[in-house]
Chain A
Amino acid sequence: MRERTTSQIQPAQVAGLTLGEGVEMFRSMLGKALGLVGYTIQYGCIAHCAFEYIGEFVVCSGPSMEPTIVNHDVVFSERMSRHLFKIQKGDIVIAKSPFDPNMNICKRVIGLEGDKICTSAQSDLFKTHTFVPMGHVWLEGDNLRNSTDSRNYGPIPYGLIRGRVCLKLWPLHSFGTLSESPTKRIIKAQSDSDSD
């Protein structure tokens, strides 16, 4: 004679559950709920690690990086360069704003620590220079006329940098890597340039 095993519960008999069968159903639902919570935590942690150590998608707004990045562009910024301290002159970086840590700014690195920066405007007769202090970077937007950057608030600490923009994703007609600085504000070291 075949016996019904305890793990089978006939749906037609839900209305007339005994106490034992009710407890069994509750325990199996609790087990499934805990399993779901466990999976959510696991995938949430994997997502956090991906966004924190690999890269993230950023929607840019504002005119300060035109023509390289215009309003409503979507770019991909990678995090590894920042964690390995391999940000270089000429990179476009996403950084936390020095005046509001919840806001991000997107600018180009013009100088690293120890570099000489020309702080006078192009029309001035006498050129003034400063040196970027230790542990700081000098950021400027590509659209020099319409950008508040290190020319206004000075160099920012390297620790505020979040990631390096490496790829533009949207709009599709300008998909791809980003171009070099159009402003010629980057003073390259003597060994870099042969004919300039």
Chain B
Amino acid sequence: MLHRDRIPLLWVFLQAVLVVALGFSDMETGPGGAGVSVQQPNGDRFKIEGRAVVPGVKTQDWVSSARIFVEGEEFVGFVRTDGSFAVNDVPSGSYVVEVITPNYRFEPVRVDITSKGKMRARLVNYIKTSEVIRQPYPLQIRANGPQTYFMKRETWGWTDFLMNPMVMMMVLPLLIIVLLPKVVNTNDPEMRKEMEQSMNMLNPNPELPDVSELMTKLFSGGSKPSTKAITSKGTRPAVKRR
């Protein structure tokens, strides 16, 4: 759990660093020099723009299957060969912008456009809809990994088999039954007496053996039988304590 918590945090941090870095590099090269960064208010229609990145994958391998959805399928944009995108002709309002690809997972971003064309990007929060956690604009959307569509098959191995509680349950008593008589000298009359005593304690009513209770007593934890094995072969006071 803790481990899981830490990873996203790390991710966010990394992402932030990378985003900052990307932002700077963008400033240097300029987005293609195409004058795309200039806001073109077309009547009262605006343009949402940004860049999508899949780390470690060439853009040409994924852009042909990518689309940008603004508020579901209401406005659709496409990704340029360099990974940047622009969705034109969007009226003012608040929209959820998503990068849709079948193979990579992108987080959606909410973009607010005022009636004057001012843009703001923030994290999507459907529960607290008015909460604002700013995101960079123009959008910088990074894929956080490939989509995991598949469940892992349970593979079978010897260790899994041995660590299975059912198997443990069967093997450990077997060991006790086989090994105990060898370890403990059964010919010693004192010992025999003591063992009988302990048997009686385990089975208070020999005519009605309560199996389920016995089971729960014995095997509520995997380690108990082993402790019992140790204690029963150990010293006398240990047995008495039970």
Physical interaction between A and B:
no
**Interface residues, chain B, CB within 8 Å of chain A?**
none
**Interface residues, chain A, CB within 8 Å of chain B?**
none
